[in-house]
Amino acid sequence: MKKTAFAVAAFMVIFSIPLFSESFTGTPVYSVYSESHDENFLSAMSDSKGKSDKTISLDSFGKKVEGKGKLGISAGYPTGITFGYQTTRLLEINVTAGLFPFDQLLLGASALFTLADIEISDEYFPLSFGPALYVRSGRKTRADLLGVLRLEYTFEDSPVNIFIEGGAGMEIMPDIGFSGSGALGIRYVF
C-alpha cells in the first residue's frame, strides 16, 4: 500500500511540472499577450476563420517579475517564515521554515507555475499551481506531498505582496493518507 501511494504521489509531482512549463509542446488552450508587442498577439483557441474565443493573460503586461525575491510570513498550514524567488515569469520557487502546530519543526518547498494573471480593474492577481512538499518533525517525522493553488497580489505603490493558498494531497510518511493545507501570507518584495 505504501509503495502504491508513493508511486501516485511521485506521478503527480513529475507530471505537473511539464504541464505548466513554458516548454509545453501540446496544443495550448490560452493566448499570450504582451503590451510591448501588440503585433505578436498569439491566439491558440482559434476557429477555422481565425477568430479567438478566449484570452487569458500569462504576461504581466511589461511588469518585470523575473529575479524578484519575496520574504515574509505565512499563517495556517504552513505557518512560518516564507521566501519565494520568481525565476521566470511562469515559475516561482518557495521555501518555508516554521512550526506546526507550535510543537513540531516544519520545513517546506514548492514550485508554483503561473496559470494566469487575473485582471480586475487594471490590477493583476497571479494564479499559480504546483507541487509542494512539507516535512514536520516532532515525536514522529511526517511528510506531505500536495498540489497547491495560490492567488496573490503585489501592491503597485509599495513592495508588499499578499497571498492565499490551499492544497490537497497525501501524507506519505510515516502513514499514507489524505492531507490538506491552507495559508495566508504577507511578504516584502525586493
Structure confidence by residue, pLDDT tens digits, 99-158: 877 788 999 999 999 999 999 888 999 999 999 999 999 888 999 999 999 999 999 899
What domain range includes position 120? 2-189
Number of structural domains the chain divides into = 1
Distance from C-alpha of 152 to C-alpha of 38, rounded to nearest angstrom: 26
Averaged pLDDT, 165-183: 96
pLDDT for position 15: 45
The H or E element containing residue 160 is strand 160-173
pLDDT for position 122: 86
Residue in the structure block whose three cell numbers are 503527480: 12
pLDDT above 70 covers a percentage of the chain that reads 65
The H or E element containing residue 163 is strand 160-173
At residue 6, what are phi and psi to the nearest 5 degrees?
-65, -40
Confidence check: pLDDT of 23 > 80: no
Max mean pLDDT range (13-22, 46-55, 88-97, 100-109) = 88-97
Inter-residue contact 112 to 13 (CB < 8 Å): no
Confidence check: pLDDT of 187 > 60: yes
Q: How many C-beta atoms lie closer than 10 Å to residue 84's C-beta? A: 24
Inter-residue contact 137 to 159 (CB < 8 Å): no
Confidence check: pLDDT of 39 > 60: no
